[in-house]
Structure 1
Amino acid sequence: MLKTSLAKKIMREIKDFIKEDLIMVDTEGTIIASTDSKRVGTFHEGALFAMKENQMRVITKADEQILQGVRAGINLPILHQQKVVGVIGITGSPETVLPYGELIKKMTELLIQENHYQDQFEWEARTLETFVFDWLLAKESLTSIEKRAELLGINLQLPRQVALMEWQNESAIATELALNPDDIIVRWGEKRMILLLAPSDEESTTRKISSIHQKLENHTQAPVFLGVGQNTSSTNIQSSYQEAERALKTCTPEKPIVFDSDLRLEIMLQAIPLTEKTAFSSRILKSVLEENELLETLKTYFKSHLSLKDTAMMLHIHINTLHYRLRKIESLTNLQLKNVDDLTALNVSLHFLEETTKN
């Protein structure tokens, strides 16, 4: 069946190639698209004959007096998968339009075929997305998941490693990624994709993840963050997904790819409720929250692994200026940077501040 929306789309595609009027007729003989809007919705008897005979029908001036809704020109049946799905009509002198009639017919059939493949691809993608969603979030019994996996050609015997990707702009992702046949990739909302990696050695996985990240950043022209869970059995895939989510939350512009296996302190920090994080960071940093220069100095100090030389260099300040700022931070917070407990409290509070600000 030829949909009206598709008929209008095809009409827009081909009307620029010829000056004559065009019509698109459905299998009931009704004009569903036309360069002359007045003809849409009217009956076309000549098109009905062309469909029944499955061959081109020339409409003459004399036919305009006999057949309902016709104008001089030609009507060509449109085939899809060896079935007549409609008719395209070209209005004008038959002698004028005949030479390129078959070309217009072929173009129309190719556009219908292309749309069919696109619809099929999108349907398959949606089916796979739904399956992965139910699989990862344990929406169905294992037996049901196994049956659906078999229909989709997915091997549930393979262990899997979940990678969750997130980007910052609205760009649609349509780039080729170097994946193995057993890897699965689906969209996961507007700005996310999820990748279920088939087993591989650690080095190969790291290379693949880095390559995917680079391609996505090149494609979106914006930061892309990537959290990777650990290898697990297909029946325990939810744990790898949760790990990937946890790793993704710790990604930063400086460290856009995070493997859950590399997380240490972050594992504990992720479990703390957001309200508690806000309260903690406010308590520790309340005296410097309005001091942007001091906050940036403290952040850089930790990023530089407590190196005074590197901190001063990154901030483009003299070492004496740095000493002054650090002493001021100690004075305002009543915490000592040489005290391990105080240093840890400051570091954790900065982590919490960044997370709560981002949220």
Structure 2
Amino acid sequence: MQISDSIARQIVERTMKIIPYSVNVMDEFGHIIGSGEPSRLLQRHEGAILAITENRIVAIDASTAEHLKGVKPGINLPITHQDKTIGAIGISGDPKTVQPYGELVRMTAELIIEQAALMSQTEWQKRHKEELVVQLIQGANADSNQISSLALRLGVDLSQPRIAFVVKIDPRNNQTPISLNHLQQLVSILEQSSAGNLVGVLSVSQNEIVVLQPIKLSKSGWMVEKEHPRINALVKQIEQLIPCQIRIALGDYFAESDGLSKSYQTAKLTLNIAQGKQDKVFFYHDYRLPVLISDLNDGSWKTRQIRQPLDNLKAQDSKGVLFNTLQAYFAHHCDVHNTCQYLNIHRNTLRYRLERIEEISQLSVNNIEHLVHLYLAMQFHSH
């Protein structure tokens, strides 16, 4: 730890509010880097050098000061951090008069340095944790040596099973913009929400954060249903503290070496697929098929072939009655009774509409292959 110019200025300002004397702060080489007398900056202080090299308090009276370079009467005390002398602090004035203030001033300086060191360490850990998160979700493009080195320095167990989830926040009712303080507050909440969470801000402009959360595995794998109450409680906590609209998408667990990259991709794609839905929490398990087919090229001839039956249906369904009926039918897992209740129609009406859908699309809802084709076509039209 070295005393920077900014820390030295802070020490001078803080101590001179306590005592009515000029204070100087010297670096490890005895150069004045902070002073109540700006004209003395960068001068080499021989009294400070003596205090640093011999690690003792050096008092200098008027007669002694005349024989030393860059020195005025006063006292100089070594500054230590983690049992290492890193500089000195001096108080100008009659040594007998300023002596009682020496320990107070030194203690203040060392507390300021300790606080700066802790903040620096915290910032270091934050930056490197974010770098580790970014590397882990890159998959094949990641630097495995860098990942191992970062994990070792941060004390992160890479063998711990984890899943990725993506958090997106937006201003509530498009009012107060999300500030940097809000993002920092959100990161803090997410880090504390589960022991061992690794959190990284992927996009400040888009207010998007990724969390790599440790999980427990059973014989059947990751028990995703146990996440529902925890993640819903997390959403409530965030909304109580931050004025935002929040959306969270959880990816799947993958045991492979690039598993966190795959988990992140499933979470990110789930968030994209669920765009426009009213829910706040989305699980990949509930959007598996739409996510898996999301990478198909909409411009390819295969995609056009899949879409064709519903393109024909929409062309002959100006009011959207048949399309909405088919959408409701799939939403209720092809259950006739529940679909009729949802649409508030008679069974015969539903049967008639399904027959019209079959006639126009040339696909039968009673043929599993045709039904899957219709469902896939609906996915392309819905997303």
For the criterion TM > 0.5, the same-fold answer is yes
Assess if the C-alpha contact under 8 Å between 1:223 and 1:253 holds in 2: no
The alignment of Structure 1 onto Structure 2 pairs a total of residues equal to: 302
Identity, % of aligned positions: 25
Instruction: Give secondary structure in 2 for the equivalent of 1:118.
Output: helix
Find the counterpart in structure 1 of residue 345 from structure 2.
Answer: none
Instruction: Give secondary structure in 2 for the equivalent of 1:88.
Output: strand
Q: Mind listing any 5+ residue stretches in structure 2 that lack a counterpart? A: 171-177, 217-222, 301-306, 312-319, 329-352, 362-374
Assess if the C-alpha contact under 8 Å between 1:162 and 1:194 holds in 2: yes
Assess if the C-alpha contact under 8 Å between 1:51 and 1:77 holds in 2: yes
Instruction: Find out whether 1:173 has 2:184 as its counterpart.
Output: yes
Instruction: Give secondary structure in 1 for the equivalent of 2:244.
Output: coil
Taking the aligned partners of 2:280 and 2:292, their CA distance within structure 1 comes to 20
Instruction: Find out whether 1:255 has 2:279 as its counterpart.
Output: yes
Instruction: Find out whether 1:103 has 2:143 as its counterpart.
Output: no
Taking the aligned partners of 2:48 and 2:299, their CA distance within structure 1 comes to 69
Assess if the C-alpha contact under 8 Å between 1:164 and 1:245 holds in 2: yes
Taking the aligned partners of 1:37 and 1:64, their CA distance within structure 2 comes to 19
Find the counterpart in structure 2 of residue 184 from structure 1.
Answer: 198
Taking the aligned partners of 1:50 and 1:218, their CA distance within structure 2 comes to 54
Taking the aligned partners of 1:234 and 1:92, their CA distance within structure 2 comes to 69
Find the counterpart in structure 2 of residue 160 from structure 1.
Answer: 162
Give 1:40 deviation, angstroms: 1.2
Give 1:108 deviation, angstroms: 1.1
Instruction: Give secondary structure in 2 for the equivalent of 1:108.
Output: helix
After the TM superposition, which residues 280-291 of structure 1 pair with which residues of structure 2 at under 5 Å, given as runs? none
Assess if the C-alpha contact under 8 Å between 1:173 and 1:219 holds in 2: no
CA RMSD of aligned residues (A): 4.0
Equivalent of 1:243, from 243, 252, 266?
266
Taking the aligned partners of 1:45 and 1:275, their CA distance within structure 2 comes to 77
Q: Mind listing any 5+ residue stretches in structure 1 that lack a counterpart? A: 285-297, 307-335, 353-359
Q: Is the alpha carbon distance of 1:253 and 1:97 closer, same or farther for their aligned partners in structure 2, counting shifts above 3 Å?
A: farther
* Of 231-240 and 251-260, the range deviating more from structure 2: 251-260
Give 1:87 deviation, angstroms: 0.9
Taking the aligned partners of 2:23 and 2:85, their CA distance within structure 1 comes to 18
- CA deviations 1:26-51 (Å, max 9, x no partner) are 12221111122221111212111111
After the TM superposition, which residues 29-178 of structure 1 pair with which residues of structure 2 at under 5 Å, given as runs? 29-138=30-139, 139-140=141-142, 145=147, 149-150=151-152, 152-168=154-170, 169=178, 170-171=180-181, 172-174=183-185, 175-176=188-189, 177-178=191-192
Taking the aligned partners of 1:215 and 1:237, their CA distance within structure 2 comes to 26
Structure 1 residue identity aligned to 2:70: G
Instruction: Find out whether 1:193 has 2:195 as its counterpart.
Output: no
Instruction: Find out whether 1:11 has 2:12 as its counterpart.
Output: yes
Structure 1 residue identity aligned to 2:264: Y
Find the counterpart in structure 2 of residue 267 from structure 1.
Answer: 291
Assess if the C-alpha contact under 8 Å between 1:21 and 1:36 holds in 2: yes
Assess if the C-alpha contact under 8 Å between 1:159 and 1:234 holds in 2: no
Taking the aligned partners of 2:299 and 2:91, their CA distance within structure 1 comes to 68
Give 1:83 deviation, angstroms: 1.4
